[in-house]
Amino acid sequence: MSNMNMPSMLAYTVRSSLSSNNPPSAIISYGRDATNFTPAKSQDDSYWICILNAKNPRERVKEWVIPGTSNAQVPAGIDTYMNDPDYIFVVSTQYLSTMHVPQGDFYDFLVKYGAGRELQRLEQVNTVLGCGSFSRMSYVLTGACGPRGGKNVPPPSYEMGSYTNYPAMLLMSLMPMPGGGPPYSICNSYTFRTR
């Protein structure tokens, strides 16, 4: 009976922000080996969408920073990346106003790529309690890109939302193929090193 070693996974952390001038991030691995992505031009009250290369998740392919006031618009050209299984997507907010939760086409876009109960919860807080109860929200969504709808079976997506003192954050892993190489997929597992 052979003991087949599992390929090493990479820690994968996606963090949003509830503080002004504090950009969201996507971090691959940890410690000195970590690759930390933040928006090139971050701004408060915004959505950051970042596309990573699934064959080399330490490579940022494209990004958009969407002002919260544009919360009903899908960025032009994004479907080129979102429909391609060679990519991983990250959606994360920076100091997002409760008044700017996703609406219309942008809401439908996020749902298409896996948004669910966490986003619905933030929408309900905004609708029922209004912006006076909680002024800021945070949200993260990540998953593998690729075609959705029809006979396509979508890969899993993962999301987290918050409207309290702690920003939304996902702690997961990127798992290589059985031989240890690309492409990487998202695994709902923690990766860390102990002494």
Q: What range does the domain containing 107 cover?
A: 10-187
164 in any annotated domain: yes
Domain annotation covers residue 115: yes
Radius of gyration of the chain (CA): 17
Does pLDDT of 105 surpass 50?
Answer: yes
pLDDT score of 143 more than 50: yes
Number of folded domains that form the chain? 1
In SS3 terms, the chain reads as: CCCCCCCCCEEEEEECECCCCCCCEEEECCHHHCEEECCCCCCCCEEEEEEEECCEEEEEEEEEEEEHHHCCCCCCCCHHHHCCCCEEEEEEEECEEHHHCCCHHHHHHHHHCCCCHHHHHHHHHHHHHCCCCCCEEEEEEEEECCCCCCCCCCCCEEEEEECCCCCCEEEEEEECCCCCCCCCEEECCCCCCCC
Q: Domain for residue 4, yes or no?
A: no
Q: What is the pLDDT of residue 167?
A: 94
Is 194 inside any structural domain?
no
Position 136 pLDDT exceeds 80: yes
Amino acid code (one letter) for 172: M
Identify the pLDDT of residue 77: 95
Q: Is the pLDDT of residue 81 over 90?
A: yes
In a domain, 192, yes or no: no
User: What is the model's pLDDT at position 5?
Assistant: 57
pLDDT of residue 1: 37
Of 178 and 119, the one with more pLDDT:
119
Instruction: State residue 155's pLDDT score.
Output: 84
Confidence of residue 94 (pLDDT cuts 50, 70, 90): very high
